[in-house]
Amino acid sequence: MPRAKQTAKRTRNEEVVYMEPPSDRPLFQYFSRRDDLNNYIFNFSERIVISPRYLDIQLLESQNFNQLSTIVHDQCLIDFVQIKNTWYPELIRICYSTLSINFNEEHPTEFTMKFRLNKVDYELDSHRLASIWNLDRVHTNDACLFDGNKTPESWGPHVKRQAFDLFNIQTVPKKKIMCTVFNKEMRVLHYLINYVLMPRSTGHSHVAIDDLVTMWAMVNDIKIYWPYFIAHNMLRFTKSDHSKGLGYAYLWTRIFEYLGIDVSGESGRRISQNNIIDERTIHHMGRGIEEGKEQQPPQDQVPQEQAGPPEQPSMRDMMQMLLRIEQNQANMNTHLTRVDQRLSRIKQYLKIDEDEDQD
């Protein structure tokens, strides 16, 4: 399919970010099952894809972040945090809408990812995914999962208490912890967790319990088997609120490349200055620390997916409308059928014949 002329979007800092034209491919060509198409349209089509980040590794040396450099190397994340490539929001939404991950009960670090795209079923095991994501240097035998508790929220109150003590954080009931409690180096670690390792679309200035415990483990050189963590978070994206964004855009592109999935003609987003964690990021963090308050991210870092709706309805919008009409009609037919059944029972009870009813 010939490509249309590329369009350019100018951000607030006058940087030009080139974007691929929207794909005019019909939605039904991506799906082999009607249920998958319905799930995508009603639960995933309007969700944003979190703008991914990658780390400028020279930043660690230029800022003398020796502790953070040690953490990144000890956790075998040096290659992972530098992954960067073009990403495809529409394909990512479709893949999440069909995604399933099965974890091995006997061997918790082993799992299988399955998804459907272009009417083809794909399956990848944890070892293959670790290699695709540059995480194959972490072996499961070396990764501590806290005695089988595989997610941060299940690590227990004693671990959480140690995490609070490590960073000298005083807990205040019903008050959120802000990332300004950390020094600049630990704020970069928190930033890496929020945008790269465990991405989320909102609340980046807040320190969640998961963030705090994960930082505690990394600072104490407790090895984490990151492929499991990433798979766990991917599965969480499929079940979370529809207003939440979808993460790991770069990792999905790596999967597409490995599987040889053709992305020509698809709508893509190219790397821009907003995707890199560099000295500009540190500058904004530093101002927040000096002023004693959280520095809001620049407006040009707002995901491009949050732009206003187009003036003309898209094919996706039209498909949504048609499916809603079809669903409403099916519900109405079901309701009328039930009404007819109830009327028939009433007639039988009152011994009313059809002929008498017509008279």
Residue with tokens 């600072």: 219
Q: Is residue 131 one of the residues assigned to a domain?
A: yes
Nearest CA to 199 among 250, 255, 246, 133? Answer: 246
Backbone region of residue 133 per phi and psi (left: phi > 0; alpha: psi in -120 to 50; beta: other values)? alpha
Q: What gap in Å lies between CA 49 and CA 246, rounded to an integer?
A: 5
pTM for the full model? 0.74
Domain that holds residue 130: 7-304
Span 225-243, mean pLDDT? 86
| 3-state SS string for the chain | CCCCCCEEEECCCCCEEEECCCCCCCHHHHCCCHHHHHHHHHHCCCCCECCCCEECCHHHHHCCCHHHHHHHHHCCCCCHHHCCCCECHHHHHHHHHHCEEEECCCCCCCEEEEEEECCEEEEEEHHHHHHHCCCCCCCCCCCCCCCCCCCHHHCCHHHHHHHHHHCCCCCCCCCCCEHHHCCHHHHHHHHHHHHHHCCCCCCCCECCHHHHHHHHHHHCCCCCCHHHHHHHHHHHHHHCCCCCCECCHHHHHHHHHHHCCCCCCCCCECCCHHHEECHHHHHHHHHHHHHCCCCCCCHHHCCHHHCCCCCCCCHHHHHHHHHHHHHHHHHHHHHHHHHHHHHHHHHHHHCCCHHHHHC
Q: What gap in Å lies between CA 346 and CA 211, rounded to an integer?
A: 62
Q: Is residue 358 one of the residues assigned to a domain?
A: no
209-219 and 157-166 helices cross at what angle (nearest 10)? 70
Q: Is residue 338 one of the residues assigned to a domain?
A: no
pLDDT, position 331 = 73
Q: What gap in Å lies between CA 270 and CA 126, rounded to an integer?
A: 28
Q: How many CB atoms lie within 10 A of CB 338?
A: 10
Q: Is residue 192 one of the residues assigned to a domain?
A: yes
Q: Is residue 246 one of the residues assigned to a domain?
A: yes
Percent of the chain at pLDDT above 90?
A: 36
Q: What gap in Å lies between CA 234 and CA 228, rounded to an integer?
A: 10
Nearest CA to 268 among 313, 309, 239, 305? Answer: 305
Query: Could you report the per-residue pLDDT of 176-224, keeping only the tens digit for each?
Result: 888 888 998 999 999 999 999 999 988 888 898 889 989 999 999 888 8
Check if the beta carbon of residue 145 is closer than 8 Å to that of residue 108.
yes
Q: Is residue 53 one of the residues assigned to a domain?
A: yes
Q: Is residue 242 one of the residues assigned to a domain?
A: yes
Q: Is residue 334 one of the residues assigned to a domain?
A: no
pLDDT of 155 > 70? The answer is no
**Which residue did the predictor score with more confidence, 315 or 4?**
315
Q: Which of 8-12, 52-56, 170-174 is predicted with the least confidence, judged by mean pLDDT?
A: 8-12
Nearest CA to 63 among 185, 181, 187, 183? Answer: 185
Query: Could you report the per-residue pLDDT of 245-263, keeping only the tens digit for each?
Result: 999 999 999 999 999 999 9
What is the number of structural domains in the chain? 1
